[in-house]
Homo-oligomer: A and B are copies of this chain.
Amino acid sequence: MPRSKGDHEARRRDVSAAVWQVMATRGFAGLTLRAVAAELGATTGLLTHYFPTKRALVAYALDLLEQRTLSRPRRPAGRGLAALRGALLDILPLTPEAIDSNRVWVSSWDAALSDPALAADYAGKYAQGRERLRTRVAAAQELGELPPGDAARIAASAQSFVLGLVVQALFDPTTFPPERQVELLDGYLAALAAEADGTA
Contact = CB atoms under 8 A, between A and B. Distances in A.
A195 B190 contact: yes
Contacts of A166: 164
Interface in A134-178: 150, 153-154, 156-157, 159-168, 170-172, 175-176
Identical subunits present: 2
Contacts of A176: 156
Contact of A106 (B113, B159, B172, B192): B113
Contacts of A161: 157, 160-161, 164, 188
A108 B107 CA distance: 9
Given A156-B184, A183-B199, A107 B107 contact: no
A30 B112 CA distance: 12
B196 A123 contact: no
Interface of A: 25-30, 103, 106-114, 119, 122-123, 126-127, 150, 153-154, 156-157, 159-168, 170-172, 175-176, 183-184, 186-188, 190-192, 194-196, 198-199
